[in-house]
Chains A and B, each alone.
Chain A
Amino acid sequence: MLHLALFLIFGVIAVVGAINLIAQTHPINSALSLVVVMGSLAAEYLLLGAEFLGAIQVIVYAGAIMVLFVFTIMLLNAGAEEQTRGSKVAIIIGIPGMVIGSVAVAWALIRAHTGAEVPVGSLYGSAQGIGHLLFRDFLLPFEITSVLILIAIMGAVVLARRES
């Protein structure tokens, strides 16, 4: 019961953080909201029994990547974003579209009974289990990710280099 209550609380915090992330105009505020989202997601993973994933989430996302974000924002000395006058079409179609989309997904999620549900907190995702998946069943996607990272690095080099 406590597990479920905590799960719901962190879920609400994550959603509020995500909405705040978009609503804020200053990049630093947005970045700090992202920390909240990442942190509460880590708590969710822990509560679901994926302890390894929870730890990685804290170390990599809430830690390393967010520090990088904040550093970049500070180095660029980015100020508050300028508000453009949002186009009417975006508001007229976008907001109802978003509401309909969210309702449809929420409805589908509520209606989903796959027979494979597990109560919150009763799963156990160990480092061993993840290692087994990563280096056996999902070996190819894991290795191919290196190509993805290589391409991204090349892109950064190509686009950032000063032309002589």
Chain B
Amino acid sequence: MIPSTDYIRLLPELILIVFGLLVMLIEPLLGEHNNRKGLGAIALMGAVLSILASFYQTGYEGAAFFDMIHVDTFSIFFHVLIGLIAAVVILASFEYLNLQQIRYGEYYGLILLSSVGMMLMSSAVELVLIFIALEISSIGTYILAGFRRNAPISIESSMKYFLLGSFATAFFLYGVALMFGATGSTSVYTIATTLAQGATPLAYVGIALMFVGLGFKVASAPFHIWTPDVYEGAPAPVVAFMSTGPKAAAFAVLLRVLFATEAPGWFWLIWASAVLSMTLGNIGALVQNNVKRLLAYSSIAQAGYILVAFAAAKDIGISAVIFYAAAYAAMNVGAFAVASHLANVGEKYVTLDDYAGLGRRAPGLAAVLTIFMLSLIGIPVTGGFLAKFYVFQAAMQSHLTGLVIIGVINSAVAAYYYLRVIVYMYMREPQRDVPVLKMPFALGVSLAACLAATIYLGVLPGRILDYAMASARVLVR
């Protein structure tokens, strides 16, 4: 018998599955010419209910389904984060789908169902389940990337993401298999006790291969090559989703795999990957003229900063990762939501030249984007600043001076291309006539949410930080 508390520990996922199916089932029942905007509201309701269910879980911490998932402060944090990302992206998609003539039912269904995978990734403590959850989240995003059916670039993006992503997943699976060979178990906690008695070379290879697979999912160098092409072609709200949700989930898995198992020998892997990601990401972004590509390179660099915190000592490093994941989600979803609104029909206006003079044509939108850019640079009063601050502080306390120096130099380089966007918006004359659509209400709400979260994390980080610290302690206990 499965006790009923087990279902409560799975409640957010169950709600998302139910609503995902509901959206798909209702769509064909609506007539050919009926208004389909209600579907978005149903999907939004599903996401919000799953967030509430995650909060409800605080009273029901513990393992469920024969030690497959583990509900603790760590998993609840990521459940809420992923739920919020899904909700904001659904809001931002209301007008976009209409504009680009994308079918509603499958779109919302896929967003909800791939969120199921991401949420499970953050609570799973069994490598088999982690793998299946990873596949759910990945396959969902592969398909979402190709949703602009009449744009060849979108199909190309989906195809590239699918081929390279499957390749990377195979690495992860191979790593899991070798880990099973080395320890005789796929449960994170059993692996931890076995590894504590001494690790064989097999365990090292297993960890390295798992890192390759997860490194691809978080777009860290040298597994980042796919990122700009995929982000450029995929629909902008989908990019907002897949550059934050699956990434946060993959970082959660990486935290579990590396820290809960007390795995050996990953330090220099992470160190090298962090340095490469920061450097290649920032240098790549310097020469970009397409805003979506620019943000793609920026997200590679941001993954590098997060990896710096991995290399740092346990508790503070983990809490810095968690805090950074939240701040990054807020500012990145916001930036892509603005880009999706400006892109217009067929995503025609995505170059920096199209952003010229935006400060006069759409002052509100330009101001919002400016704040997200400042946060991505790491200017005080924004979440991005404190996130970077905690990451580098954690690295300093662990005596990783070299890594901190490289990181700070990179942050300075990064300021150039983020500021370039702001300079274009406020100080350049528009080259051609770029229409700016009226701001739809739903998108306004989603932008306001991102903005509020960015500022809140920058001004009053205390509660989130305490929570991140508590999660970190749960993880390494």
Which of A's residues lie within 8 Å of B, judged by CB?
104-105, 107-109, 111-114, 116, 136-141, 144-145, 147-148, 150-152, 154-155, 157-159, 163
**Chain B residues within 8 Å of chain A by Cβ, number:** 43
Q: List 9 A-B contacts (CB under 8 A).
A: A112-B200, A112-B201, A136-B66, A138-B128, A144-B132, A148-B132, A148-B136, A151-B113, A158-B143
Interface SS of chain A: helix
Interface residues of B in 97-118 (CB under 8 A from A): 103, 106, 109-110, 113-114, 116-117
Whether the pair A140, B109 counts as a contact (CB closer than 8 A) is no
- With contacts A109-B202, A111-B202, A114-B183 taken as known, whether A151 is within 8 angstroms of B143 at the C-beta atoms is yes
Q: Does B204 contact A (CB under 8 A)?
A: yes
Partner of B143, one of A104, A109, A159: A159
Q: Does B205 contact A (CB under 8 A)?
A: yes
16 more A-B residue pairs beyond the given contacts A112-B201, A144-B132, A159-B143, with a C-beta to C-beta distance below 8 A: A108-B200, A108-B201, A109-B178, A112-B202, A114-B183, A140-B129, A141-B68, A141-B129, A141-B132, A147-B136, A148-B136, A148-B139, A151-B136, A155-B110, A155-B143, A163-B149
Q: Does B378 contact A (CB under 8 A)?
A: no
Query: With A and B bound together, what is the CA distance between A100 and B158 in angstroms?
Result: 31
- What distance in Å separates the Cβ of A100 from its nearest Cβ neighbour in chain B? 12
Whether the pair A148, B66 counts as a contact (CB closer than 8 A) is no
Whether the pair A140, B68 counts as a contact (CB closer than 8 A) is yes
Whether the pair B136, A154 counts as a contact (CB closer than 8 A) is no
Partner of A151, one of B114, B181, B183, B202: B114
Q: Does B182 contact A (CB under 8 A)?
A: yes
Whether the pair A141, B117 counts as a contact (CB closer than 8 A) is no
- With contacts A105-B205, A158-B147, A163-B149 taken as known, whether A144 is within 8 angstroms of B120 at the C-beta atoms is yes
Whether the pair A150, B103 counts as a contact (CB closer than 8 A) is no
Q: Which residue of A lies closest to B147 (CB)?
A: A158
Whether the pair B201, A158 counts as a contact (CB closer than 8 A) is no
Whether the pair B136, A158 counts as a contact (CB closer than 8 A) is no
Residues of chain B within 8 A (CB-CB) of A140 are 10, 65-66, 68-69, 129
Q: Does B58 contact A (CB under 8 A)?
A: no
- What distance in Å separates the Cβ of B14 from its nearest Cβ neighbour in chain A? 11
Q: Does B465 contact A (CB under 8 A)?
A: no
Q: Does B211 contact A (CB under 8 A)?
A: no
Query: With A and B bound together, what is the CA distance between A120 and B295 in angstroms?
Result: 53
Residues of chain A within 8 A (CB-CB) of B114 are 151
Partner of A159, one of B146, B182, B205: B146
Query: With A and B bound together, what is the CA distance between A116 and B347 in angstroms?
Result: 58
Whether the pair B66, A139 counts as a contact (CB closer than 8 A) is yes
Query: With A and B bound together, what is the CA distance between A107 and B17 in angstroms?
Result: 44
Interface residues of B in 374-391 (CB under 8 A from A): none
Q: Which residue of A lies closest to B10 (CB)?
A: A140
Residues of chain A within 8 A (CB-CB) of B117 are 147-148
Residues of chain B within 8 A (CB-CB) of A104 are 205
Whether the pair A147, B129 counts as a contact (CB closer than 8 A) is no
Partner of B139, one of A107, A141, A152, A163: A152
Q: Which residue of A lies closest to B181 (CB)?
A: A112
- What distance in Å separates the Cβ of B2 from its nearest Cβ neighbour in chain A? 8
Whether the pair B128, A141 counts as a contact (CB closer than 8 A) is yes
- With contacts A105-B178, A141-B132 taken as known, whether A154 is within 8 angstroms of B201 at the C-beta atoms is no
Whether the pair B133, A144 counts as a contact (CB closer than 8 A) is yes
Whether the pair B106, A157 counts as a contact (CB closer than 8 A) is yes
Interface residues of B in 169-187 (CB under 8 A from A): 178, 181-184
Query: With A and B bound together, what is the CA distance between A145 and B132 in angstroms?
Result: 7
Query: With A and B bound together, what is the CA distance between A163 and B69 in angstroms?
Result: 41
- What distance in Å separates the Cβ of A101 from its nearest Cβ neighbour in chain B? 9
Query: With A and B bound together, what is the CA distance between A159 and B107 in angstroms?
Result: 12
- With contacts A140-B68, A144-B120, A158-B103 taken as known, whether A108 is within 8 angstroms of B202 at the C-beta atoms is yes
Residues of chain B within 8 A (CB-CB) of A107 are 201
Partner of A108, one of B129, B139, B158, B205: B205
Query: With A and B bound together, what is the CA distance between A138 and B124 in angstroms?
Result: 12
Q: Which residue of A lies closest to B155 (CB)?
A: A159
Q: Does B126 contact A (CB under 8 A)?
A: yes
Residues of chain B within 8 A (CB-CB) of A116 are 184
Residues of chain B within 8 A (CB-CB) of A138 are 66, 68, 128
Query: With A and B bound together, what is the CA distance between A110 and B384 in angstroms?
Result: 47
